Structure 1
Amino acid sequence: MASNESILVKEDYTNSFLPHELRFWIILSFNTLSLVCSLFQLYHLCTKRALRTALNNHSIIALLCTGLSSQLIDIPFYVVYIRLGYVWPSTPFFCRFWWYVDMEALEVTVFLVLWTSLERHMLIFHDRWFVTAKKRWLLHYLPLIFFIAYPLLFYLIILLFVTCDYPASYDYTQPWCYYSPICYNDIILVRYDILANWTVCATLKLLSDVALIGRFIWHRRIRLHQPVQWRKHRKMFLQLMSISMLTSSFSMPLLIFYLLVNFANLSTNINPNLELSLLYLLLCSILCLPFVMLLSFPKKYWLDKWKTLLCERRRPPSRQIAPARIFPPS
């Protein structure tokens, strides 16, 4: 473990854009709002039976729960790092744990968004496939479990059995200790991770989204004799498009960077801040997801209640006029 004085002497690559104090309050405030938004939606999704039993909400619940690991663990660790100027506690175990929490949140989110896109095709155009409990387990629950368990187990196995621990592998002056157990001299493992876990998921998600848009146009404009119930499935479609656009726009720059570095021999010495900046960008997508999901959340649980509350506060109190007493003529 290095001393604090030697730690603070090194250059902090993350201080290139915003001062420490400003970054500290921005990230802390944004993470708090994102956490409140996630808990609010999870409360309604888990306590309201109509929302809890809807198959299309299960992947949304999984995405919100995955985001909690970043909001409750990853981001607070990073906030402490910004406040102190170094990783605390400065131990190899903490660096490995922090790396795993960060990677599982990012990867599970990528896989869940892919499965959400694929499942929307079945829920919208082939909803009869989920009539029986056996079909629901085969086509819904088992794939959902797989898309969550695979990235968790993959990076756990790497963390436990594949290691590149050498004296310079932990840099406590950098977020996440600038640590990765994946040996960069192991070309096969690195390229498998980039291609199978990132590129294939991004490509399949893009193709699935384009195919879903095309199917909607086909059913609405051409197959008029068998129209899809647009009003019934519009929220599912718009919710998926907003989530996919958000995650793709934030994750694509990092994916392109890794592809250029590992397959086009791009030097990583071009800009030391570039990779960390792209990682921050990808992390921001997880913090933004709850707000995007809230826009497609049933408005009767949040927007209508706020409107009703504000209208009641602004409405002037009604004056009760006593009825006039009419006496009979004498």
Structure 2
Amino acid sequence: MDSTLKFMLLLIFQIPAILVSIIIFIYFALDSTVRSKPKNHIWLVLLILNFLALVSDLPMSMSYYYQGKIWVKNDGYCVWWNWYESSLNTLGLCLMAWASIERHFFIFHSQTIMRVRWKMWMAHYIPILLCFAWILIWNFVFIVVPPICDNIWYFDQLMCGAPCYYTVDNGIYIMIEFIVNIVCPLGVITFANILLITRVIYQKIIHHQAVNWRRHRKMTFQLWLISSVYLAFWLPNTLAAIIRLTIMPTFFIDQYDTLIFIIYFIPLLLPIVCLNTYPELLKKINKTIRRRIARNRIGISTVRNVH
């Protein structure tokens, strides 16, 4: 795919993604009920990370695609870019994996776990903090201050190329990272979603609780919709990498850059997908749009009557 086309695609999606993110943040800020619900915390954290990617990480890649070279040619910038983008990508994946597990607690154990303070900390807040700690520390050690090699950066490549630990000791460290930070979270997301749908349907059949069914269905649909964004754009690259590492070293090697590029669509599409999981917010937006249209029509009619 041509670099100019990549730049245009990112720019086209970036602007509405930023606007939708701001609308959702305003919604959370003004509605204390929505903001205080623990089930919404993980989405808010993901959206904040996503917003950082939109306004501070994505522009670095867009600059590269537009100019065909690195904007700031120094090692510090390359270290920052690698650490920042790698952290945002894998942290989002880790948090999404935990959100998939946590949703089981909210649906099936809301009375026994989520209502007890210390259990709430153990099952809600601490896992989020552990995701941050693990990802940020791992990337700091292996990208910022690598103890096993010296980084060499290339100013004509995206993200200045790869950190040196990718090739040290036959790539054992990148293999560990690939399995722990990418394959495992994707596996958890997939399995947890399938299990959740199965459990919700089973509970519906066994207990016939209409009220809980509607609530459970809404929470399950929200998780499935948001996690689908991560699965749709991470799985192609991950499956291709697994095949290359195991049976066919040249598999999809010519499409490698494209598979990496499509991961940028996660922050571009996530705000729009999240917006569709909050029907109350959509109703408010629709009402606001209708009122403005009605006012414009009244204004136009008034002007015509005057003339």
TM range, normalised to the smaller chain?
0.7 to 0.9
1:192-241 deviation per Cα after TM superposition (whole angstroms, max 9, x unaligned): 111111111111111110000001110112332x5661222333221111
From 28, 45, 51, the equivalent of 2:34 is 51
TM-score by length of 1: 0.82
Indicate the residue corresponding to 1:103 in structure 2.
86
Shift of 1:53: 0.5
Specify the code of the residue in structure 1 equivalent to 2:194: V
Contact 1:90 1:172 in 2 (8 A): yes
1:179 match: secondary structure = coil
Q: Which moved more, 1:297-306 or 1:143-152?
A: 297-306
- Structure 1, residues 218-274: CA drift from partner, whole Å, max 9, x if none? 0112332x5661222333221111111121011011111222333336148x64x52
**How much has 1:162 moved relative to structure 2?**
4.1
The amino acid across from 2:231 in the alignment is S
Residue 160 (structure 2) aligns with: 177
Q: Which residue of structure 2 aligns with residue 325 of structure 1?
A: none
Aligned equivalent of 1:42, options 14, 25, 28: 25
Long gaps (5+) in structure 1: 1-16, 320-330
Which region of structure 1 is more displaced relative to structure 2, 76-85 or 287-296?
Answer: 76-85
Q: What SS does the aligned partner of 1:127 have?
A: coil
**Partner of residue 266 from structure 2, selected from 252, 267, 285:** 285
Which amino acid in structure 1 is aligned with residue 91 of structure 2?
V
AA matched with 2:264: L
Do the aligned partners of 1:31 and 1:287 also contact (CA within 8 Å) in 2? yes
CA distance 1:264–1:70, change in 2 (3 Å): same
**CA distance in structure 2 between the aligned counterparts of 1:163 and 1:30, rounded to whole angstroms:** 39
Q: TM-score normalized by structure 2?
A: 0.88
Partner of 1:327: none
The residue number in structure 1 matching 2:53 is 70
In the alignment, the residues of structure 2 paired with residue 212 and residue 138 of structure 1 have an alpha-carbon distance, to the nearest angstrom, of 21
* RMSD of aligned alpha carbons: 2.4
> 1:156 Cα shift?
1.3
Taking every aligned residue pair, what percent have the same amino acid on both sides?
Answer: 23
Q: Distance in 1 between matches of 2:122 and 2:3?
A: 51
Compute the displacement of 1:311 (Å): 4.3
User: What's the CA shift for 1:44?
Assistant: 1.7
Q: Structure 1's 81 and 163: CA in aligned 2 closer, same or farther, altered over 3 A? A: farther
Question: Once the two structures are superposed, what CA deviation does each residue of 1:247-302 show, in whole Å capped at 9, x if it has no partner?
Answer: 1011011111222333336148x64x522211111111221111100111233442
CA distance in 1, matches of 2:130, 2:153: 32
Instruction: Answer yes or no: is the 8 Å Cα contact 2:200–2:217 preserved in 1.
Output: no
Change (3 A) 1:208 1:276: same
Aligned to 1:165, which of 142, 146, 150? 150
* 2:176 aligned to which of 179, 184, 192: 192
The answer on whether the counterparts of 1:219 and 1:227 sit within 8 Å (CA) in structure 2 is no
Question: Residue 296 of structure 1 is aligned with which of 269, 272, 277?
Answer: 277
Name the residue aligned to 2:255.
Answer: 274
* Matching residue of 2:205: 221
CA separation of 1:207 and 1:19: change in aligned 2, threshold 3 A: closer
Aligned partners of 1:181, 1:228: CA distance in 2, in Å? Answer: 55
Higher Rg of the two aligned structures: 1
2:146–2:165 contact (8 Å) kept in structure 1 = no
Sort the Cα spacing of 1:316 and 1:93 in 2 relative to 1 into closer, same or farther, 3 A.
closer
CA distance in 2, matches of 1:36, 1:61: 16
Q: Residue 290 and residue 162 in structure 1: after superposition, are their counterparts in 2 closer, same or farther (change >3 A)?
A: farther
User: Paired residue for 2:137, among 134, 142, 153?
Assistant: 153
Higher helix share: 2
Unmatched runs of 5 consecutive residues or more in structure 2: 303-307
For 1:232, the equivalent position in structure 2 comes to 215
**Residue of structure 2 equivalent to 1:252:** 235
Residue identity in the other structure for 2:146 = F
Letter matched to residue 170 of structure 1:
W
Structure 2 counterpart of 1:125, which letter?
F
Q: Per-residue deviation at 1:141?
A: 0.9
Q: How much has 1:181 moved relative to structure 2?
A: 3.5
User: Is the counterpart of residue 28 in structure 1 residue 22 in structure 2?
Assistant: no
When residues 47 and 133 of structure 1 are mapped into structure 2, their CA distance, relative to the original with a 3 A threshold, is: farther
In structure 2, the CA distance between the partners of 1:162 and 1:264, relative to structure 1 (3 Å rule), is farther
Equivalents in 1 of 2:205, 2:292: separation in Å? 41
